[in-house]
Amino acid sequence: MLLLRLIFESFSFAFGSLRANKLRTLLSLLGITIGIFAIISVFTVIDSLERFIKESLNSLGSDMVYVQKWPWTPPEGETEYPWWRYLNRPSPTPEETEELVRRGNTIDNASFFFGFSRTVQSGSDKLENATILATSYPLYDVWNLELNQGRYFTEAEMNSGAPVTVIGAEIANKLFSGTNPVGTTIKIQGYKFRIIGVYEKMGQDMFGTSMDNYIQISATKSFYMVDVRNRDRGQTICVKAKQNVDQDEFIAELEGIMRNIHRLKPMEENDFALNEVNLISNQFDQLFGVINLAGAIIGGFSILVGGFGIANIMFVSVKERTRIIGIQKSLGAKRYFILLQFIFEAIVLSLIGGVVGLVLIFIGTQIVTYVSEFTIVLTVGNIVRGLLISSVIGFIAGLMPARSAAKLDPVEAINSV
């Protein structure tokens, strides 16, 4: 009870002092508000960016491997990307996709795909540089896609190259303005395609795996439209592992089958890349670790400036209230009471500044989220972090002034001018 009363009285003195010196309080608040705004803004933006990237990585699938000509990252232990070593590699083919599924014991399914750009026409409406995604039949299963309208290709339609297509939600909106496009016809490179389905809106990610802006056609049909046998168009085999299969075993089997298909000798280097989502995820973790550290250092200097401002104000406050401190001591106030009184005042001042900074950050996140497609969220973790930083800075900034106040001689304090 004594401790609670001491805390209550200390807070009462602190709030009374803050109310009595509104201008000084406001100036002190500005420093810590700017500091908290700077450091928590950095953490909030970095956390939101990290979440966006991880969601994009998850959309690629942690249980999938992308067999491609080009690796996503430099070789292990190297910092430079040796593109010249990969230039003459062969591109993956639909036949290799079928071989992987036929031979693989750990492989659940695999799909071949690549993309190219063409002008798409629907009646008098045209869409320039639309992305055409040419795929094999299993893509729907491998990417866990969902349809909003219509149906997916039949296997016979895919294999025969039937002139049908499934389009993304954004394509449907741009060409058909919200009306149902299923059953209508679009023209690509002089070829007519009947729309049989529209994908559920997914939202765009950084890797372009969203189907929103894609027009999917059969890879068999696309061979009449573009040259993929002699030209690199980003041909990819997306291989999905069976459930509960060890990732290392999956990769080892996949590598072995690909080497056998390409007839590589035991000592020959792979002429294909097995791109795993985990490889990128690990590199991003390291990158964000560095960015977080840099953000903490930059924001720390801002907080430090705010802390100096509070310490300066608290020294002034001690000077102004020297006689009051003397009277309190003469009436029996203990040194720890005087000490806590000024420490609590500094903490309260710092917390108010921190709360104002957090409110400004929240308003900023709402504005950015509203005007752009990038969502920024002020998380509970960052709110707690901001309040803890404010409290610690307030404690440190108020400790020295509070100790000087607690050490004052009551007689000299009362007689001070």
List, for residues 58-76, the tens digit of each pLDDT value: 655 566 899 999 998 888 7
Q: Is the dihedral of CA 31, 33, 38, 43 positive or negative?
A: positive
* pLDDT at residue 68, rounded to an integer: 94
Across 1-15, 265-279, 354-368, least confident range: 1-15
Q: In this structure, are residues 153 and 167 in contact, taking their beta carbons and an 8 Å threshold? A: no
* pLDDT at residue 45, rounded to an integer: 81
Stretch 265-276: mean pLDDT, rounded?
90
Confidence band for 304, pLDDT divided at 50, 70 and 90: confident
Higher pLDDT, 47 or 9: 47
Mean of the per-residue pLDDT values for the chain?
A: 83
For the cut 70, the answer to whether the pLDDT of residue 248 exceeds it is yes
Confidence band for 318, pLDDT divided at 50, 70 and 90: confident
Residues 6+ apart with CB under 8 A from 127: 119, 120, 121, 171, 174, 175
Could you tell me what percent of the chain has a pLDDT over 70?
A: 87
Higher pLDDT, 415 or 65: 65
Confidence band for 208, pLDDT divided at 50, 70 and 90: low
* pLDDT at residue 11, rounded to an integer: 65
Stretch 339-367: mean pLDDT, rounded?
84
Stretch 122-144: mean pLDDT, rounded?
91
For the cut 60, the answer to whether the pLDDT of residue 30 exceeds it is yes
Stretch 280-295: mean pLDDT, rounded?
71
For the cut 70, the answer to whether the pLDDT of residue 398 exceeds it is yes
Higher pLDDT, 124 or 12: 124
* pLDDT at residue 182, rounded to an integer: 93
* pLDDT at residue 334, rounded to an integer: 74
Confidence band for 31, pLDDT divided at 50, 70 and 90: confident
Query: d(Cα 201, Cα 146) in Å, to the nearest integer?
Result: 9
* pLDDT at residue 402, rounded to an integer: 82
For the cut 80, the answer to whether the pLDDT of residue 24 exceeds it is no
244 residue type, one letter = N
For the cut 80, the answer to whether the pLDDT of residue 25 exceeds it is no
Confidence band for 409, pLDDT divided at 50, 70 and 90: confident
Higher pLDDT, 368 or 199: 199
SS (H, E, C) 253-290: HHHHHHHHHCCCCCCCCCCCEEEEHHHHHHHHHHHHHH
* pLDDT at residue 282, rounded to an integer: 66
Confidence band for 303, pLDDT divided at 50, 70 and 90: confident
Query: d(Cα 138, Cα 62) in Å, to the nearest integer?
Result: 18
* pLDDT at residue 209, rounded to an integer: 57
* pLDDT at residue 6, rounded to an integer: 61
Alpha helix ranges (H) inside 72-120: 94-103
The conformation of residue 84, written as its DSSP 8-state character, comes to G
Higher pLDDT, 198 or 401: 198
Confidence band for 153, pLDDT divided at 50, 70 and 90: very high
Confidence band for 2, pLDDT divided at 50, 70 and 90: low
Provide the residue ranges of all domains of the chain, joining segments of one domain with +.
2-57+282-414, 90-271
* pLDDT at residue 137, rounded to an integer: 95
Residues 6+ apart with CB under 8 A from 157: 164, 218
Confidence band for 78, pLDDT divided at 50, 70 and 90: confident
Q: In this structure, are residues 164 and 196 in contact, taking their beta carbons and an 8 Å threshold? A: yes
Higher pLDDT, 257 or 354: 257
111 residue type, one letter = S
Q: In this structure, are residues 168 and 147 in contact, taking their beta carbons and an 8 Å threshold? A: no
